[in-house]
Amino acid sequence: MSMSTVFYRRSCCCVCTSSAVEMVFPLRPVPLSPNVGSSDEALRTEVMVPLDVWLCRDCGHIQLINIVSADMQYTNYRYTTHISRGLPEHFRTLFEDISLRFTPAARALIVEIGSNDGTVLRYFQESGQTVLGVDPAREIAERATASGIETWPTYFTTDLAGRIRAERGPATVVIANNVMANTDALDDMIGGVRDLLEEGGVFVFETQYGVDVFEKRLIDTIYHEHISYFNVKPLQALFARHGMELIDVQRIPVKGGSIRGTAQVVGGGRAVAASVAALIAEEAALGYHQPERFVQFTQEIEALREHIRKVVLDRLADGRRVAGYGASVGSVTLLHYLDLTAALDFIADDAPLGPALTGPGYSIPILPGENLLVRRPALTLVLAWRYAESIMARHQAYRADGGQFLIPLPTLDIR
Question: Nearest Cα to 234, choosing from 113, 70, 57?
Answer: 57
DSSP-assigned beta bridge partners for residue 205: 176, 261
**In the predicted model, what is the mean pLDDT of residues 115-126?**
96
Looking at residue 81, its pLDDT comes to: 56
Q: 259 and 372: one domain?
A: no
pLDDT classification of 82: cutoffs 50, 70, 90: low
Among 286, 319, 336, the domain-final residue is: 286
The sheet that has 258-265: what strands, in order across it?
A: 151-152, 130-134, 109-113, 171-177, 197-208, 258-265, 244-252
Q: 129 and 189: one domain?
A: yes
**In the predicted model, what is the mean pLDDT of residues 197-208?**
97
Q: What is the pLDDT of residues 216-265, one digit of tens each?
A: 999 999 999 999 999 999 999 999 999 999 999 999 999 889 999 999 99
Q: 148 and 106: one domain?
A: yes
| Rounded Cα–Cα distance for residues 93 and 156 (Å) | 24
| Rounded Cα–Cα distance for residues 227 and 73 (Å) | 12
What is the per-residue burial (b if ≥16 Cβ within 10 Å, else e) of 62-75?
bbbbbbbbbebbbb
Domain containing 350: what range? 292-414
Which of 38-47, 91-100, 313-322, 344-353 shows the lowest mean pLDDT across its residues?
38-47
Q: 382 and 235: one domain?
A: no
Residue 167 has pLDDT above 90, yes or no: yes
Percent above pLDDT 70 for the chain: 93
**How far apart, in Å, do the first and last CA atoms of the chain sit?**
45
Which H or E run includes 204? strand 197-208
Residue 38 has pLDDT above 60, yes or no: no
Q: 257 and 306: one domain?
A: no
Looking at residue 5, its pLDDT comes to: 78
Phi then psi for 19, rounded to 5 degrees?
Answer: -90, 0
* C-beta atoms surrounding 208 within 10 Å: 23
Q: 224 and 298: one domain?
A: no
Phi then psi for 229, rounded to 5 degrees?
Answer: -125, 85
Q: What mean pLDDT value characterizes the chain?
A: 92
pLDDT classification of 3: cutoffs 50, 70, 90: low
Residue-by-residue DSSP string for 347-365: EE-SS-SSSEEEETTEEEE
Q: What is the pLDDT of residues 133-154, one digit of tens each?
A: 999 999 999 999 999 999 999 9
Q: What is the pLDDT of residues 277-305, one digit of tens each?
A: 999 999 999 999 899 999 999 999 999 99
Q: 191 and 164: one domain?
A: yes
Give the residue ranges of DSSP H helices in 197-273: 210-215, 232-241
What is the chain's alpha carbon radius of gyration, rounded to the nearest angstrom?
22
pLDDT classification of 31: cutoffs 50, 70, 90: confident
Residue 40 has pLDDT above 70, yes or no: no
The structure's pTM equals 0.92
| Rounded Cα–Cα distance for residues 218 and 209 (Å) | 10
Q: 281 and 330: one domain?
A: no
Looking at residue 44, its pLDDT comes to: 62
Looking at residue 360, its pLDDT comes to: 84
Task: State CA 199 to chain mean position distance.
Answer: 31
Is 366 within a domain? yes
Residue 390 has pLDDT above 50, yes or no: yes
Which H or E run includes 166? helix 158-168
**In the predicted model, what is the mean pLDDT of residues 93-105?**
96
**Into how many domains does the chain fold?**
2
Q: 252 and 307: one domain?
A: no
Vertex 41 angle, CA 36 and 47, to 5°: 90
Residue 338 has pLDDT above 80, yes or no: yes
pLDDT classification of 131: cutoffs 50, 70, 90: very high
Looking at residue 86, its pLDDT comes to: 72
Is 107 within a domain? yes
pLDDT classification of 316: cutoffs 50, 70, 90: very high
Looking at residue 4, its pLDDT comes to: 58
Q: 264 and 155: one domain?
A: yes
Is 395 within a domain? yes
Residue 2 has pLDDT above 50, yes or no: no
Query: With DSSP H G I counted as helix, E B as strand and the rest as coil, what are the percentages for the chain, rounded to 5?
Result: 40, 25, 35
Q: Is the dihedral of CA 236, 241, 247, 249 positive or negative?
A: negative
Residue 37 has pLDDT above 90, yes or no: no
Residue 68 has pLDDT above 50, yes or no: yes
Task: State CA 45 to chain mean position distance.
Answer: 23
pLDDT classification of 1: cutoffs 50, 70, 90: very low
Q: 99 and 234: one domain?
A: yes
Among 254, 286, 318, the domain-final residue is: 286
Residues near 6 by beta carbon (within 8 Å), at least 6 away in sequence? 32, 43, 47, 49, 68, 69, 72
Is 346:402 a contact under the CB 8 Å cutoff?
no
Residue 45 has pLDDT above 60, yes or no: yes
